[in-house]
Amino acid sequence: MFALVTLLLAPLALALPAPVDTSSLESTQFTGRATWFEVGLGACGYTDTDADYLVALNEPQYTSGDYCNRFLLVENAATGASAVAKVRDECPGCAWGSLDMSPDLFKALSSGGLDEGVFDIKWNFYYDGWAPAGN
């Protein structure tokens, strides 16, 4: 009986999202719009792929690259879907608080995939030096 219950519940455990560390977030929360871009060589000097969970920080907040490699928690304001991402590029056309996302990050947070094009977000930086487990 135990084996049957375990067998039936195992797929449910795999479908649940991993817990997100919110205890290491900075208190300032930003709001803006999410868009997506094709990833490559970014302003931080790294060549990444579309599969990486990355953001291009808006130009006013990017400054001189001080936030390169900082992690942040970004959330779709409408659905509550969230993910951890890393700053690896600058978005000159993005307004304060807005983020340009790698395609896979955008798809993970949007309700309509890349075709959605844009959605509202809220996000926080993690404290400097924080990294997800295994990173």
pTM for this entry:
0.81
Q: Dmax over Cα atoms in the chain, in whole Å?
A: 61
Q: What is the pLDDT along the chain (135 residues), one digit of tens a residue?
A: 444 434 444 443 333 344 556 677 788 999 999 999 999 999 999 999 999 999 999 999 998 899 999 999 999 999 999 999 999 999 999 999 999 999 999 999 999 999 999 999 999 999 999 999 877
Fold held by 25-125: Barwin-like endoglucanases (2.40.40)
Pairing of strands 99-101, 30-36: parallel
Instruction: Give the residue extent of every domain in the chain.
Output: 25-125
